[in-house]
Amino acid sequence: MRINDRVFGMLMLILAVVYGWEATKFPIPFGGHESVGPETFPIMLSLILGISSIYLIVRPDPDEKWAPVAMLIELSVVVLSMLAFAWAIEPLGFMPAAALVVSFLSWRMGASIAKSLITGVTSSVVIFFLFNNVLELALPLGLLEF
């Protein structure tokens, strides 16, 4: 199967066209036209990307196997958990958020629940104190703030 490269090539071709099109519509900078405007370099790039995308569509490499659907879902859950961590770091505080996400990741990588909880809690507490007290980079306390 040689689907990956074809699909990706098409996506990149669309990107190249849209990007190049947008570049031609930049406002003319103050002081009038020069030989090289803000659009010259982007237009060159869109040509390069366009040409290589077409090559990819015409002569794709063999596919690398994608993970089965179940694994892709699992990976998405992991990605979501990291996004949730980014969101929670301020309202919840660094330690609870980090403990949760590290335990979750470690559990998903195959550690037992007890061991992953230990990893999560110790690493988040150690890193928090290392950063706050030794390296003096303030991390948010969040819920633990009195």
Partner 1 sequence: MDTMSLLMQGFSVALTPESIMFAVIGAILGTLIGALPGLGPANGVAILIPLAFSLGLSPTSSLILLTSVYAGAMYGGRISSILLNIPGDEPAMMTCLDGYPMALKGKAAEALAISAIASFIGSLIATIGLVILAPILAKFALKFGPAEYFALFALAFATLGGITGKNQFKTLMAAAIGLMIATVGIDISTGVQRFTYNTLELFEGVDFIIAIVGLFAISELLFFLERHAGDGLKQVAINKLKLTPKDIIKVLPASFRGAVLGFVAGVLPGAGASLGSFISYTLEKRVSDKDGTFGKGDPRGVAAPEAGNNGAASGALVPMLTLGVPGSGTTAVLLAMLISLNISPGPMLFQQNADLVWGVIAAMFVGNLVLLLLNIPMVGIFVKLLSIPPKYLMPVVTLIASVGIYSVSHSALDLYFMVGFGVLGYIFRKIDIPLVPIILGMLLGPEMEKSLRHALVLSDGDWMALFNSGLSIGLWSVAVLGLVLPVIVGPIVRAKMRKSKEAVKDV
Give the residue, chosen from 92, 95, 96, 98, that forms a contact with partner 1 under the rule CB under 8 A: 98
Residues 115-134, mask of contacts with partner 1 (x by CB under 8 A) = xx--xx--xx--x---x---
Burial (Cβ within 10 Å: 0-12, 13-18, ≥19) of residue 136: exposed
Least Å distance, CB 133 to partner 1, is: 14
Q: Does 25 bind partner 1 (CB under 8 A)?
A: no
d(CA 26, CA 114): 57
d(CA 46, CA 23): 9
Residue ranges in 34-63 that form contacts with partner 1 under rule CB under 8 A: 34-38, 40-42, 45-46, 48-49, 52-53, 55-56, 61
Q: Does 139 bind partner 1 (CB under 8 A)?
A: yes
d(CA 8, CA 4): 6
Amino acid, res. 142? G
Give the residue, chosen from 14, 73, 75, 113, that forms a contact with partner 1 under the rule CB under 8 A: 75
Per DSSP, helices labelled H in 1-112 are 3-24, 40-58, 69-88, 94-108
Burial (Cβ within 10 Å: 0-12, 13-18, ≥19) of residue 56: buried
The binding site for partner 1 (CB under 8 A) comprises 4-5, 8, 12, 16, 19, 22-23, 26-27, 29-31, 34-38, 40-42, 45-46, 48-49, 52-53, 55-56, 61, 64, 66-67, 71, 74-75, 78-79, 82-83, 85-87, 89-90, 94, 98, 101-103, 105-106, 108-111, 115-116, 119-120, 123-124, 127, 131, 135, 137, 139
